[in-house]
Amino acid sequence: MDAGACILGTTQGRVRMHHLDEAAKSSDLGANGLKLKKGLAIRVESSLERDEIGRTTLKALRLTPLTRMQEKSSMTVCSMAEVPNYNVSTIAHAYGALLVRGRKCVLVRGFSGEFDGMRLPYLLHDDAQESAMDCAVRALCERCDISPDNFYIPSCISPVCYYDRVGTDGVCVCVTMHIALAVSAPSGAARDAMEEDESPEEPYDWFGYAKAMRILRTEKRERHFRNCSAACVERMMLECTCL
């Protein structure tokens, strides 16, 4: 652990930890608590948290120094030099679902200035108490203003992941998209086969495969985001066709 930088080494890499000083002061080691110093082997009890943009952090709850015997038998005590450089706290996470009905899928608009144009519906995972699947369902409900009774997410189709950058500081976000199938079919074959006029005042619109691909590829975003978004739509639509 690098106490000065509040970085904890784990088997998965490094992770940012907060409330470290508070946990040390509140430990059962006298009035002054536990004094953190280099070379001290401790057990850290913590809770998993997500910050407001979906990055993983740990909140220190309790620090306990290890005895000599515990330190010798522990397989987790090592220097920071032995810990992988990958820092899990630098990657934010977002989850969403692409809603498919017949031959069309949903793309959403950004009315609050969060993003320009249209994109796949997802939300940043900012609550560690919420499961990834619940976040994906909530993203579809909030972005499209629909009820969860109107769709379901089949377990037989694997999700698709791609990376994006959000915000003014360009935080890297791992976006995981599930496929959602509408419960009710579109009314009439002609409506399913023909592209309808867009409704700019609505939070979302239905698009056929070809038009959805064109929209995602012509937005003024990073090249890798356009390509990955289009690949996400392509894979999900093809898997739905095979069902």
Is the pLDDT assigned to residue 71 strictly greater than 90?
A: no
Q: What is the pLDDT of residues 162-196, one digit of tens each?
A: 888 776 677 888 999 898 989 987 665 556 667 77
* pLDDT at residue 20 tops 80: yes
Token pair for 110: 């950004």
Are 126 and 49 in contact by the 8 Å Cβ rule? The answer is no
Whole-number Å distance between alpha carbons of 178 and 154: 9
Domain ranges in the chain are: 7-86, 91-242
Q: What is the pLDDT at residue 138?
A: 96
Q: What is the CATH number of domain 91-242?
A: 3.90.79.10
In the 8-state DSSP scheme, what is residue 123? Answer: E
94 contact partners, CB below 8 Å, separation of at least 6: 54, 122, 123, 124, 125, 135, 139, 164, 173, 174, 175, 176
Q: Which pLDDT band, with edges at 50, 70 and 90, does 66 fall under?
A: confident
Contact between 105 and 73 (Cβ < 8 Å):
no
Who has greater pLDDT, 227 or 213? 213
The per-residue pLDDT for 221 is 43
What pLDDT, on a 0 to 100 scale, did the predictor assign at position 224?
40
Query: Is residue 161's pLDDT more than 80?
Result: yes
pLDDT attached to residue 10: 74
Query: pLDDT tens across 100-120, in order?
Result: 888 888 889 876 666 667 888
Q: What's the Cα-to-Cα distance from 135 to each of 38, 95, 151, 152, 180, rounded to whole Å? A: 40, 6, 15, 14, 13
Rounded-to-integer distance, Cα 134 and Cα 96, Å: 9
Instruction: Give whole-number Cα distances, 28 to 1, 25, 167, in Å.
Output: 20, 9, 42
